[in-house]
Amino acid sequence: MQPTDGARPGDRGSTLAETLTTVETITFDCYGTLIDWKGGLTQFFATTFGRAAPRGVDELFDLYVRTEAAIEAGSYRSYRQVLGEVAQRLAEHLHIDLSPNSSNTLAEALPRWTPFVDTGDALVRLKRRYRLGVLSNIDRDLFGATSKHFPVAFDFVITAEDVRAYKPSPAHFHRLLSEFAERQTTLHVGQSPFHDGIPAGQTGLAFVWINRYKQCNDTMVTPLAELPDLKSLADAADAV
């Protein structure tokens, strides 16, 4: 296995500023990086589980993340199916009977999740200089609905449906490098060292961690840079 650090200083400049001068393509994780994933889930927890949800939602978020990752690690199924199964398992954990229709609520709500306040302006600024793409654990129709929230059109989108696998499988990144971009001139940006940093490093791509939720990095991934939001990346690009 290749090293899992995202920096790859032997391949190009070892700082973010140096890398941004050679990059031609920037790819993004979507939910949690561009879209307020946690805000959308918070609303789902409140409307679906109500008082049965823990008073502190972090416990439920952690359970959600672990459950989703376990399902996605199995044989491929659509993300709609993944979300339905996650909702059912969370309900069982909370001792709630969830109807099949309620299980579908999460997938139906996802297209209404909105971007972070800095996302739109940052994408517009980055689009002036770079090709932009998305690598997402999503179904193509669900991303199509989400894309209406963005002020720019992405040059390409690679979904889990396209590659029949979920990150941290490197399948999205193999498709990226075989069809859309060159390793030496591509930077990947995401909020999860686990889902995005690991496969980026495995395929030799520089990785920038957008740590919007002030999380701890419990992986072996060493990102090229850790930034609090997408505005900071656009500011860095404008400065070089």
Q: Is 141 one of the catalytic residues?
A: no
Asked if CATH classification 3.30.1560 holds for the domain at 37-112, the reply, yes or no, is no
Q: Is there a contact between 25 and 131 (Cβ–Cβ < 8 Å)?
A: yes
Q: Which of 189, 163, 230, 175 is nearest to 29 (CA)?
A: 189
Supply the CATH classification number for the domain 16-36+114-238: 3.40.50.1000
Q: What is the pLDDT of residue 52?
A: 65
As a whole number of angstroms, the distance between CA 220 and CA 193 comes to 9
Q: Is there a contact between 161 and 79 (Cβ–Cβ < 8 Å)?
A: yes
Ranges of each domain in the chain: 16-36+114-238, 37-112
Q: Tell me how long the chain is.
A: 240
Exposed/middle/buried for 69, CB within 10 Å: 0-12, 13-18, 19+?
middle
Q: What is the pLDDT of residue 94?
A: 85
Three-class SS of residue 87?
helix
As a whole number of angstroms, the distance between CA 20 and CA 9 comes to 13
Q: 5, 29, 36, 139: which is the annotated catalytic residue? A: 29
As a whole number of angstroms, the distance between CA 81 and CA 59 comes to 23
pTM: 0.91
The angle, 0 to 180 degrees and rounded to 10, between the axes of the packed helices 230-238 and 119-127 is: 30
CA angle (52, 56, 62) in 5-degree steps? 95
Mean pLDDT by 10 residues, the chain (240 residues): 37 79 97 95 86 69 93 96 93 84 85 97 98 98 97 98 98 98 97 97 97 92 97 97
